[in-house]
Amino acid sequence: MEYRLLGHSGLKVSVLSLGTMTFGGQGKFAKTGQTDVGAAQRQIGLCLDAGINLFDTADVYSGGESEVILGKALGSKRHDVLVASKARFPMGEGPNDRGSSRHHILRACEASLKRLNTDYLDLYQLHEWDGLTPLEETLRALDDLVSSGKVRYVGVSNFSAWHIMKTLGVAQANHYIRPVSQQIHYTLQAREAEYELLPVAQDQGLGVLVWSPLAGGLLSGKYRRNQAAPEGTRHLADWGEPPVRDESALYDVVDVLVEIAEARGVSAAQIALAWLIARPQVTSVIVGARNDTQLQDNLLAADLTLKNEEIERLNKVSQLPLLYPYWHQAQTAPDRLSAVDLSLIAPYLKK
């Protein structure tokens, strides 16, 4: 297992980490999985044997049950690993039971610590942007949590690039704790993060944690062109995260994934995960599984190195159009682009 620094911090995390949205199976999260304590203990054991040291959860997963199960399943191993959680989404019916206000963040953290049966979180993340709460208020609350020893590092998730830059600017101006990471959705099926989220991470020294790296199963190889979806799985028309805007383009990606996987004698899921691990800005890829077999397969991706020609095939079939102002920069300023600019634009210049 390879370990990478989490952004500008000194904390090293494994290139694969375990996401626990499947733990609990309560309410709307039942469709992601129904992992109980026993199954969670087996999965955590598999992860520890593979070298994974980061376990990611959130208070909203199964209404807190995911945190409860993760805490029980880790048991005495808790201080040997890194635990990350998140807050922002509704945890009650009251008007202040959501968001990133000081009121909600402090209460949410205390509740997460209790459910996880721990006295600190290694990484505490804002689960979503809150456009109503002043950033000064949110960051001061996070700063206090760090000062009190209840949180070690802070991060953000599902922020836009301007949200991130504003957050970093407010943190610097007020000498508050600075986020070290962002958790984002990024896959061969959805490469929008390359426009701004990955460049801002590279420029500002932010770690990148990737959620739903198989696009909710779309890139696992079980969904194929002109074939009925496996029994018990979702139909593309009902897909919400991530949305499927171009079904034909999705299957073009899947076709290449399957071709490479069959030639290598591995699963399409492993190829999709290995492509992400090889992206230079990515720190860790968060995998989750309904069962041990899926998890064991995903874990093998940590030892899979793609050939340059395989990466090029995957890049080509999934490449996004160059949006404005990037196409204009590519046409008029190729001699004045930084390494961060070129992380997006360089492939288009070759044309």
**Does residue 182 contact residue 201 with C-beta atoms inside 8 Å?**
yes
**Cα torsion through 197, 203, 207, 209, rounded to 10:** 20
Q: Look at phi and psi of residue 215 and say left if phi exceeds 0, alpha if psi is from -120 to 50, else beta.
A: left
Q: Find the catalytic residue in 3, 61, 124, 223.
A: 61
Q: From 13, 6, 32, select the one nearest 288 (Cα to Cα).
A: 32
The residues, any chain, with a CB within 8 Å of residue 142's CB and separated by 6 or more, are: 105, 124, 126, 151, 154, 176, 177
Contact 116, 61 (CB under 8 A): no
Say how far apart CA 212 and CA 187 lie, in whole Å. Answer: 8
Whether 61 is catalytic: yes
The residue type of 228 is A
Catalytically active residues are 61
